[in-house]
Amino acid sequence: MASFYWIKLYHEILDDPKMGKLPDRAWRRCVELFLLAGDTEEGGALPELSDIAWRLRVPEDELLEDLQTLEAVGILGQNDGHWHVSNFAKRQKAVADDERQRQYRKRRRTRNESVMDVTGDNAGCHESVTERNADKSRKDKKGEDTEKDSAAGTAKPSKPPPETPPPEKKPTPAQEMFDALGRLCQYDLTMISRKDRGVLNQVGKRLRDNEKTPDDLAGFARYWYAADWRGQKGQAPKPHDVTSEWGRAQAWLENGGKNARRNERRSKPVDASEAEKRQIEKEQSEHVRRVLERRAAGVVV
């Protein structure tokens, strides 16, 4: 298998008609997918479409069009709806030591034969022609420089135009939700594991499917650290806590930051039988109080 840091990219790509006939965007996307397959380390299997789109910073519809283009020429394939690079494991596997030595000797023999052709009996002829061409080029260049100096006088050379910085790529909604959710759950996004990245993408997609935005996560954070016992202890929420506690957070926010369940319990209407029972208990308590007061005053009851 390929290492985590690099993959094999063969010279024959330059002469491969499948690659050579690809549009520039598809050619670039192909190499990016090779690298992503090597990073995934699953025998050429690629992540989910939404994860690929976020990793390459491209819209999903544009990415799907590129994947279908590469599938049409056999570079990519699908298995149960999952994309993979064709023959990736075969092309990336380690070469046996004897085969590596054989290829090395062949390259060295070919290189030595090429050097002998250049340094043979005609070497002197080639050197003389080269020297004459170099002398002629130096004289022509000197004459051109003299003409330019006489024509320009003491004029200063013009400054090259300033380089225009490339336009900053706007993050996609999926990336914005991923970043906001990572900050809420206090993940270090520069060192996040592949498993945690998958969980964040899954929860973020569920929130976006329910038309939630990163601004809504700010409201959830207020609820978590003010009303949830884990947040009051300083614990950050887990990604799945966000979805499981979302309803309580919304009720808390709509109630002005108060405990919705407690207010519902206080404002619950009392039925008639319960009210009568409380009235009887109140009257009995009042009667007992009056009897005790009379006894204390020496009045016979």
Domain CATH code at residue 25? 1.10.10.10
- Domain stops at, among 67, 92, 117: 92
Q: Which residues pair with 66 in a beta bridge?
A: none
Domain count, the chain: 3
Q: What is the reported pTM?
A: 0.35
243 and 297 assigned to the same domain = no
Query: Does any domain span residue 182?
Result: yes
Residue 119 lies in a domain: no
Is residue 102 a part of any domain in this protein? no
Domain, as residue range, for 224? 173-265
Nearest residue to 184 via CA among 161, 217, 152: 217
- Contacts of residue 237, Cβ cutoff 8 Å, sequence gap at least 6: 184, 185, 220, 224, 228, 230, 231, 245
Whether residue 261 lies inside any domain: the answer is yes
* Encoded tokens for 78: 């699908």
Which among 45, 63, 92 is the end of a domain?
Answer: 92
Along the 301 residues of the chain, how does pLDDT read in single tens digits? 445 678 888 888 888 888 888 989 988 988 998 898 888 888 889 999 899 999 899 999 998 999 999 889 898 999 888 899 988 888 888 777 887 788 888 888 888 776 555 555 444 444 444 555 556 566 666 666 555 555 555 555 566 677 777 677 788 888 888 999 899 998 888 888 888 889 889 898 989 898 889 998 888 898 889 889 898 888 999 988 999 998 888 898 888 876 645 444 444 444 556 777 787 888 878 878 887 888 787 755 5
